[in-house]
Amino acid sequence: MLPFIPTQAVAQQPLLAKALAATGTPALLADAHGKIIWVNHAFVAFSGDAEHELLGRQAPILRDGKRDSSDYARAWRALQRGHELHNEVIGAHRNGSRYTVEEFITPLFDDDGVITHFFVIRHDITQRTQHSEHIQHLADHDDLTGLLNRSKFRKELASAIGHARHSPRTLATLFIDLDHFKPVNDQLGHDVGDLLLAAVAHRLRNAVRTGDHIARFGGDEFAVLLIDLPEASMAEALAAKLLAALSRPFTLQSHRVTISASIGVAIHPRDGQDARTLLLKADRSMYRIKHSGGNGVGLWPLSNGAK
């Protein structure tokens, strides 16, 4: 928590004013209406704006790009009641680069207890945030393809099912296994096999809609989550589109490689109402196609009456 700083301190104590101006932590002072009346050298350097451009401007208090108008109004009312606030702000420098800062806002009072100013200091946490985001990305994604991993896909599926319960639209889970992948590894080597998996991921990304999710489950197995489908029949059409995309030849280094895929489809809520059931039924539908020669799309329920 920031120490209490009397309003008169900056004006009456030259040493304190000099220290605040020289500190490497960006700081500003705004009037009771939130307009900037003073900034230190660090704030000027961090913002990329000249001091005269900042003075008189509305202070970037609470403008974090994440709050809606009602959140902002509540936070501003809290400040006006004299509460200190700690905020995380995402913004852009004048040169276009993005930053993340921790912002501490302290109301300053006169002798009668009336708020006259707001003192704001910022700590740049851009690198820390980027490192945290990178670690989280590694935890959620497959190293080779950059797709979601099995664990993250299951979470996305469970979340989508929760939202779908309140929507008339449907979602579908597709389980994909590549046909003839093993011969590529055996004959051309694992390096080419890895290139093929990365190329498959690229084609899947280009074939699905914005907002859909793709994962590599391991080996040559992939999964796709199709969300917000206007009708269940659209899942089969999109699965056929993926099948066609994967059937086109791949050029990997100097090799021309042709594969196909077996795709199983399960529809929510028709085929199941939880992630485990949908994945299981999509997997079984895929294996039915695989055992029938591959290169096809299979929908649950299975024609042989399997459960």
Write out the catalytic residue numbers. Answer: 220
| 289, 176 Cβ separation under 8 angstroms | no
Q: What is the CA radius of gyration of the chain?
A: 28
CA of residue 167 relative to chain centroid, distance: 23
What are the backbone dihedrals phi and psi of residue 181, each rounded to the nearest 5 degrees, phi first? Answer: -80, -35
**Nearest partner of 249 among 257, 241, 240, 238, judged by Cα:** 257
Helices (H), 165-274: 181-188, 190-207, 233-247
**DSSP designation for 103:** E
CA of residue 142 relative to chain centroid, distance: 15
According to DSSP, the residues that pair with 105 across neighbouring strands are: 85, 120
What are the backbone dihedrals phi and psi of residue 296, each rounded to the nearest 5 degrees, phi first? Answer: -165, 175
Peptide bond just before 269 cis, omega within 30 deg: yes
**Nearest partner of 257 among 175, 176, 216, 199, judged by Cα:** 199
**Nearest partner of 267 among 241, 228, 235, 239, judged by Cα:** 235
**Nearest partner of 202 among 145, 260, 256, 241, judged by Cα:** 145
Say which residues have a Cβ less than 8 Å from residue 219's Cβ, sequence separation at least 6. 181
